[in-house]
């Protein structure tokens, strides 16, 4: 009986070999990304003593690889999505190695930070494309939800590792970054074992169709909103409430545990209720989160305010999987399947127009008025996102 079960599991693995290897790559890269997420902002604060305006300006070089990702993927399109993912994971690992071991000055650190950013942005648009290529249209959401769940499982491992390391083992930032490198390289090997697939090289390298204009606008709005939270939400917790890496690790564990369920839920909601419903719900929740960030410290005591803001941080990060809805929207309205990856990469580049500009103004706004003003601006963006999401229509 036991041998029969083992044979069944082995047969099931081989029957979907590429998908399972991609899940393993998601798990390993999730560990690498989770380590970076837990420590990067504290690393900047503790090692380089950045002010709010410099932290905002730092997003320009950090997000520059994302802005140029359309050109990067166009230049590498002859490799195919799988090889691009493999190279991206290897580049992210190299970037983490540089951050940990080869950053004697702030200027050098920026170079390695950009290398890490380039790697992660190379993987970003091809991940949904690969996932959907291993599925059928009726199960796009569920399939991407499974991939996201494995990535989040890796993040949980990373957060536990950081919590134990920084809380009990006196771990250094260098050790943490090197560990992330090991897992990113392992992820690259996992992707490298997949069948390289399509010999048909995409002929369409740049895609700008009127049909996809709503997606492009949503991508810009999403980039603006995401960057405010990515840059300033952890910075509030660090600078205003003195939160340490091990506390971010705990928050990360909570986010990951919740997200494993929510990513499956969001995937199923995409399949059952559609992209417009999911993106509308996201916009409403984001508006509420912005209000929580902006006014908690004014209404409640410091102890209660930090709990509320940490709760907003958890909820916001738990909703990251909603990005799947924008990906499946493109896949469903695509005129040609060859449009999907170039369109998603164009969307990523457009997102980074906002990602590079918003933090600069956000940092200056923080210095002049206070961090609350940054999140009030984010609330306005959330309302705009709501209006645009209601315009989504998919004709099958």
Kindly state the helix (H) or strand (E) to which residue 69 belongs, with its residue range.
Answer: helix 69-75
DSSP structure class, residue 203: S
Q: Which of 362, 378, 237, 233 is nearest to 302 (CA)?
A: 237
Lowest-pLDDT choice from 2-16, 157-171, 176-190: 2-16
Residue spans of the domains in the chain: they are: 7-389
298: buried, middle or exposed (CB in 10 Å: 19+, 13-18, 0-12)?
exposed
Pairwise CA distance, residues 95 & 98, whole Å: 5
pLDDT digits (tens, 9 = 90+) for 271-305: 888 888 888 998 899 999 999 988 898 888 888 98
Q: Domain 7-389 adopts which CATH fold?
A: Growth Hormone; Chain: A; (1.20.1250)
- pLDDT computed for residue 211 by the predictor: 79
The SS3 assignment for 305 reads: helix
Backbone angles phi, psi at 232, to 5 degrees: -100, -20
- Backbone Cα Rg of the chain: 20
What pTM was estimated for this model as a whole? 0.75
> What is the enclosing helix (H) or strand (E) of 348?
helix 340-368
Q: What digits encode the pLDDT tens for the residues 54-110? A: 888 888 898 888 777 777 887 888 888 889 999 999 999 999 999 999 999 999 999
Query: How does residue 184 score in pLDDT terms, banded at 50, 70 and 90?
Result: very high
- Average pLDDT estimate for 324-352: 78
What dihedral do alpha carbons 363, 366, 368, 372 form, nearest 10°?
A: 150
Band (325; pLDDT cuts 50, 70, 90)? confident
State how far Cα 322 lies from the chain centre.
11
Counting residues of the chain whose pLDDT is more than 70, the rounded percentage is: 90
Tokens of residue 61, six digits: 């070089």
pLDDT at position 203: 47
pLDDT band at 118 (very low <50, low <70, confident <90, very high): very high
Q: Are 35 and 159 in contact (CB under 8 A)?
A: no
Residue written as token pair 């359309």: 70
> Per residue in 195-230, pLDDT tens?
765 434 444 455 667 778 888 888 888 888 878 888
């Amino acid at each position: 009986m036991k041998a029969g079960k083992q044979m069944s599991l082995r047969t099931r693995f081989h029957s979907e070999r590429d998908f399972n290897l991609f899940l393993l790559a998601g798990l390993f890269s999730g560990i690498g990304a989770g380590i970076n997420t837990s420590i990067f902002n504290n690393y900047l604060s503790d090692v380089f003593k950045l002010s709010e305006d410099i932290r905002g300006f730092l997003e320009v070089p950090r997000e520059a690889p994302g802005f140029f990702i359309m050109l990067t993927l166009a230049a590498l399109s002859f490799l195919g999505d799988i090889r691009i993912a493999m190279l991206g994971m290897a580049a992210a690992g190299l970037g983490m190695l540089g951050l940990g071991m080869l950053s004697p000055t702030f200027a050098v650190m920026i170079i390695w930070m950009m290398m890490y950013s380039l790697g992660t942005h190379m993987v970003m648009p091809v991940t949904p494309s690969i996932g959907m290529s291993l599925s059928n249209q009726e199960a796009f959401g569920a399939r991407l939800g499974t991939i996201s769940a494995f990535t989040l499982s890796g993040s949980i491992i990373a957060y536990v590792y950081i919590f134990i390391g920084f809380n009990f083992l006196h771990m250094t930032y260098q050790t943490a970054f090197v560990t992330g490198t090991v897992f990113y390289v392992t992820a690259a090997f996992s992707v490298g074992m997949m069948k390289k697939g399509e010999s048909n090289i995409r002929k369409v390298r740049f895609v700008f169709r009127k049909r996809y204009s709503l997606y492009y606008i949503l991508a810009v709005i999403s980039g603006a909103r995401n960057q405010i939270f990515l840059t300033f939400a952890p910075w509030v917790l660090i600078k205003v409430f003195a939160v340490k890496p091990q506390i971010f690790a705990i928050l990360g564990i909570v986010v990951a545990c919740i997200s494993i369920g929510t990513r499956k839920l969001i995937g199923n909601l995409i399949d059952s209720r559609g992209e417009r419903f999911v993106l509308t719900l996201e916009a409403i929740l984001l508006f509420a989160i912005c209000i929580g960030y902006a006014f908690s410290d004014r209404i409640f005591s410091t102890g209660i305010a930090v709990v509320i803001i940490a709760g907003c941080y958890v909820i916001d990060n738990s909703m990251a999987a909603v990005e799947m809805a924008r990906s499946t929207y493109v896949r469903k309205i695509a005129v040609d399947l060859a449009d999907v990856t170039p369109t998603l990469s164009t969307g990523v580049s457009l997102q980074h127009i906002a990602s590079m500009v918003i933090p600069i103004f956000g940092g200056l706004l923080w210095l002049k008025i206070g961090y609350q003003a940054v999140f009030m601006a984010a609330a306005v963006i959330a309302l705009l996102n709501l209006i645009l999401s209601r315009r989504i229509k998919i004709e099958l």
